[in-house]
Amino acid sequence: MSKEEFPGWHGTTIIGVRRGGEVVVAGDGQVSLGQTVIKGTARKVRRLSPGGQDVVCGFAGSTADAFTLLERLETKLEATPGQLARACVELAKDWRTDKYLSKLEAMLIVTDGDTLLVVTGAGDVLEPEHDIAAIGSGGNFALAAARGLMETDKDAESVAREAMKIASDICVYTNGNLTVEKISK
């Protein structure tokens, strides 16, 4: 089956919300192949602890590709302790220029509790506006919901959970089985 004929993996909504001295990254658990839900309880938000650092990552895209990128990020973090942005820039450079890595299809949201970043294979390392980052098939729905919820007194976790609930009600490739990681600075 050629790549054009292959139905493709869809799914995943990941959101990162920074508020009140903490960052929460939440992700749904649905993995779909075409119009079929393959798994509803995937864990797409992970905590990394390279060299004693505490970093939370959420990923959208191919799972194997994302795991490859998380391993590379961990190596970059070990080489640049306490410098999340620098490690992410180094990862993005490699991801864009390396023949093997450039074929990887995934996106990352990464935080150390202070900095919140979106990292892409196009070489982007972006600090989002409004203290919210969202990626994946339902990312725009979650982002819009979170932007509205930031007008309330809700904490970061409540904003993330409610935004994910709204996204899962709209996006057929997103479910309500959440993995939520919180990190403070």
pLDDT tens digits, residue range 11-68?
Answer: 789 999 999 999 999 999 998 888 889 999 999 999 998 878 899 999 998 888 889 9
Query: pLDDT-based confidence at 102, cuts 50/70/90?
Result: confident
Residue whose tokens read 């949201």: 109
The boundaries of the domain holding residue 29 are 9-179
DSSP per-residue string spanning 127-176: --GGGEEEEETTHHHHHHHHHHHTTSS--HHHHHHHHHHHHHHH-TT--S
Does residue 112 register a pLDDT over 70?
yes
CB atoms within 10 A of CB 116: 23
Q: What is the pLDDT of residue 32?
A: 85
Does residue 2 register a pLDDT over 50?
no
Q: Is residue 77 part of a domain?
A: yes
Q: Is residue 2 part of a domain?
A: no
Q: Is 12 a catalytic residue?
A: yes
Q: Is residue 143 part of a domain?
A: yes
Does residue 119 register a pLDDT over 90?
yes
Mean of per-residue pLDDT scores for the chain: 91
Query: What number is the average pLDDT over the span 147-168?
Result: 98
Count of domains in the chain? 1
Q: Is residue 1 part of a domain?
A: no
CATH of the domain at 138: 3.60.20.10
Q: Is residue 159 part of a domain?
A: yes
Q: Model-level pTM?
A: 0.92
Buried b (16+ CB within 10 A) or exposed e, 130-150: ebbbbbbbbbebbbbbbbebb
Q: Is residue 39 part of a domain?
A: yes
Q: Is residue 130 part of a domain?
A: yes
Most confident of 3-7, 94-98, 138-142: 138-142
Q: Is residue 4 part of a domain?
A: no
Q: How many residues does the chain have?
A: 185
